[in-house]
Amino acid sequence: MAMKETGSIRVLLTEEQIQERIRQLGKQITRDYEGKTLLMVGILKGSCMFLCDLAKRVELDVRMDFMSVSSYGSQMTTSGKVQIKKDLENNIKGKDVLIIEDIIDSGMTMSKLLPLLREREPASLRVCTFLDKPSRRQVPLQADYTGFAVEDAFIVGYGLDYDEKYRQLPYVACLEG
Ligand code: IMP
Ligand code: MG
């Protein structure tokens, strides 16, 4: 697909690499939640592609819900709170909840969101992130499932955007120049 570019983009993860890893994650999640109903909670909008492809590889009774929270570029600090822009439709009390995130960068979003969801008393609460930038962490946070660890670069594609662009790319790239 031709796209008008100012800088260039360098592919970091191909569509094949992504889909292969998602197959593995799907198997792992299927094993870990055997016999349970799994509520997959996608954090909009970045996790949309990952959630859809991952859900197809999870052989369980899967339910889906979505949340939108303030993220990159907001004035969030270690003392601040995450702002919920769109809340869940489901009551998660007693449910097995797996949060699906696009990328964990500073860790701030997740470290604020997790306690907030824990207050709602889910049976279990875990995090599955497509990408992880461990070198950027400002607060200690470890996802339960991680697709890929990536370098400290600005990542786009497969749901991740730069100014709302590039989300539809089937691969992951980093922006250069
Ligand atoms: P954190 O709170 O710093 O961990 O940031 C998490 C959010 O910032 C992610 O859910 C993304 O929406 C956004 N983000 C962080 N790094 C990138 C990136 O490299 N590309 C696109 N979005 C990013
Ligand atoms: Mg996000």
Residue 138 CA, closest ligand 1 atom number:
3
Which pair of tokens denotes residue 104?
């964990």
3-state class percentages of the chain: helix first, strand second, coil last, to nearest 5: 25, 35, 45
Give residue 34's pLDDT band: very low, low, confident or very high (50, 70, 90).
very high
DSSP string, 61-113: EEEEEEEEE--TTS---TTS---EEE--SS--TT-EEEEEEEEESSSHHHHHH
Of 128, 132, 124, nearest in space to 101 by CA: 128
At residue 125, what are phi and psi to the nearest 5 degrees? -145, 115
The answer to whether the CB of 31 is under 6 A from ligand 1 is no
Q: Is the per-residue pLDDT at 4 higher than 60? A: no
Is-cis flag, bond preceding 81, omega within 30?
no
Cα–Cα distances in angstroms (integers) from residue 39 to residues 4, 31, 113, in the given order = 38, 15, 16
CB-side neighbour CA atoms (13 Å) of 46 = 22
Q: Is the per-residue pLDDT at 71 higher than 80? A: no
Q: What is the pLDDT, as a whole number, of residue 176?
A: 86
pLDDT tens, 47-65? 999 999 999 999 999 999 9
pLDDT tens, 132-177? 999 999 999 999 999 999 999 999 999 999 999 999 999 999 998 7
Q: What is the pLDDT, as a whole number, of residue 70?
A: 85
Query: Ligand 2 centroid to 70 CA: how many Å?
Result: 8
pLDDT tens, 96-135? 999 999 999 999 999 999 999 999 999 999 999 999 999 9
pTM of the predicted protein model: 0.93
Mean pLDDT computed over 31-57: 98
The answer to whether the CB of 124 is under 6 A from ligand 1 is no
- Choosing from 105, 132, 144, 163, the catalytic residue is 105
Residue 72 CA, closest ligand 1 atom number:
8
**Residue 130 near residue 119, CB atoms below 8 Å:** no
Q: Is the per-residue pLDDT at 46 higher than 90? A: yes
Residue 104 CA, closest ligand 1 atom number:
4
- Residue nearest atom 22 in ligand 1 by C-alpha distance: 160
Query: Ligand 2 centroid to 28 CA: how many Å?
Result: 23
Residues with Cβ within 8 Å of 23's Cβ and at least 6 positions away in sequence, in order, are 57
Cα 98 from chain centroid (whole Å): 10
User: What domains are defined for the chain?
Assistant: 16-155 (3.40.50.2020)
Which pair of tokens denotes residue 47?
């996790």
Q: Is the per-residue pLDDT at 81 higher than 80? A: no
- Using most ligand atoms within 8 A of CB, pick from 12, 160, 161, 162 the residue to mutate for ligand 1: 160
Q: Is the per-residue pLDDT at 3 higher than 90? A: no
- Strand order in 172-176's β-sheet? 8-13, 172-176, 155-156
Q: Which ligand is nearest to the CA of 108?
A: 1
Of 76, 71, 82, nearest in space to 113 by CA: 82
- Whether residue 152 lies in the annotated active site: no
